[in-house]
Amino acid sequence: MTVDDRFARDFRETEDDRLAGKRNEVVTGPVADWATDFSHTEPEWAADPYPIQDDLRGRCPIAHTERFGGAWLPTRYEDVAAIAYDTERFSSRAIVVSNYRPPLDLAPVGVVPPISSDPPFHHDARRLLLPAFTKKAIAAYEPDTRALCHALIDGLEGREVVDAAREYAQHIPMRVIAGMLGFPPEDGPKFAQFVENALESINLPPEERLQRMDRLFDYLLVQIRDHVDDPRDDLTTYLINAELYGRKLEPSHVAGAMALLLIAGIDTTWSAIGASLWHLAKTPGDRERLVAEPGLVPTAIEEFLRVYAPVTMARLVKEDMHWRGVDMKADDWVLLSFPAANRDPAQFDRAGEVVIDREVNRHAAFGLGIHRCVGSHLARMELRVALEVWLERIPVFALDDPDAVTWAPGQVRGPRALPIRVG
């Protein structure tokens, strides 16, 4: 047997090579007109994006901004769906809007495959991950997840006010994905930093973002080497041993897929759990109904996913084109707002209302088409168990101070501070 020395050296390219893409001037500050100058990084959007999206859907359904070097924001379900399905004209080479566009030759693999991959490579890279994330495979993690939720509530015993985002929601996906990847459970605080760097610090200079991203990949390399020396039954060892086209994966593919699983699995579900608890804390009728009818929780979480969908993805336009009435240029960003699509009255009855027993709910919270969230079964399990345990242990609760609730800015939105009064 040959020694696996793929990870002995640092596999990363030089900083110059990794910053060889295009950059643009960073523009921040108050938005003049959301139809022509939108920015999902401004506080007004983070606090409440829905009135903005509803207004745009009515008067300018494919909004534009010169910020980020040029970007589009479709708010109709039909447009969001069309872009999600059209991988010929919209690339996933980068999926977080920033002021830097990676070089074209990064496609079709991207930095964090398969979310950053285009066909045909995407299909093969995705198939490597799918078996680990089926509903059946995920069910094996449910008992530990439930025990973790109970332990977190035990830790809040005796307190009148607790932060449901920081002290509950955050820890659930963090610990579960750490366990699946085989990372030390006490590393959670590091993960929170990695997530913030990847998703919230998009207006920093590219050099600084790269340095921050390097800290994540430094961490992953340590974990990979530890698993090469000491293989275990977890996703890290699985990816180290996985083969594609008859060969083991490129080291950058192993680390990139791990980065994706770590980052994408944490603040998304943390946001969904937090937003659901926020809704129940301010809506006693829904809270009392779910306490009385726990069997309704799976239906209710679909509605929370629809109306508070945490994730907005992005695409890059491949070539100049006239698309549904607007002139898109090559390398324009497109914000793929699943939250806006999910509130389109042309697609959903009572689109702006929260209807926890909604019977027909074709929401797009996990995306549409070939990039459907690979962790959707995991996210649904975590969200359901988190709500079931909370409602069982803390059936009576309310917002302590609605003005103290803060929301993450950018493409993943959910409560980051959520003070809740218990009892």
Partner 1 sequence: MRVHLDPGRCQGHGRCYDLAPDLFGEDDEGFGTVLGDGIVPPDQAQDARRAAANCPEHAIDLREGA
Q: Can you point out the beta strands (E) in 245-383?
A: 247-248, 312-317, 321-323, 326-328, 333-337
Q: Which of 15, 362, 402, 404 binds partner 1 (CB under 8 A)?
A: 362
Residue type, 163: D
By CB under 8 A, tell whether 360 contacts partner 1.
Answer: yes
By CB under 8 A, tell whether 123 contacts partner 1.
Answer: no
Q: Can you point out the beta strands (E) in 167-270?
A: 243-244, 247-248
Measured from the CB atom, the residue of 131 and 352 that comes closer to partner 1 is 131
Alpha carbon 376 to its chain's center: 11
Measured from the CB atom, the residue of 77 and 219 that comes closer to partner 1 is 77
Stretch that binds partner 1, among 23-31, 56-64, 131-139, 391-399 (CB under 8 A): 131-139
List the end-to-end C-alpha distance of the chain, in Å, as a whole number. Answer: 61
By CB under 8 A, tell whether 203 contacts partner 1.
Answer: no
By CB under 8 A, tell whether 381 contacts partner 1.
Answer: no
Q: What separation in angstroms does the CA of 197 have from each of 193, 206, 396, 398?
A: 6, 12, 35, 31
By CB under 8 A, tell whether 376 contacts partner 1.
Answer: yes
The crossing angle, in degrees rounded to 10, of helices 206-229 and 188-199 is: 140
Residue type, 407: W
Sort strands 161-163 and 419-422 into parallel, antiparallel or unpaired: antiparallel
Contact 356, 303 (CB under 8 A): yes
3-state secondary structure (DSSP) of residue 206: helix
Binders in 26-45 for partner 1, by CB under 8 A: none
By CB under 8 A, tell whether 135 contacts partner 1.
Answer: yes
Q: Can you point out the beta strands (E) in 245-359?
A: 247-248, 312-317, 321-323, 326-328, 333-337
Question: Would you give the binding string for partner 1 spanning residues 59-78, x where CB under 8 A is met?
Answer: --------------------
Q: Which of 134, 222, 282, 319 binds partner 1 (CB under 8 A)?
A: 134
By CB under 8 A, tell whether 136 contacts partner 1.
Answer: yes
By CB under 8 A, tell whether 405 contacts partner 1.
Answer: no
In angstroms, the CA 157 to CA 159 distance is 6
Measured from the CB atom, the residue of 134 and 211 that comes closer to partner 1 is 134
Q: Which of 369, 396, 401, 402 binds partner 1 (CB under 8 A)?
A: 369
Stretch that binds partner 1, among 155-163, 239-247, 348-356, 365-373 (CB under 8 A): 365-373
Q: Which of 370, 393, 406, 417 binds partner 1 (CB under 8 A)?
A: 370
| Site for partner 1, rule CB under 8 A | 127, 130-131, 133-136, 298, 302, 359-364, 366, 368-370, 372, 376-377
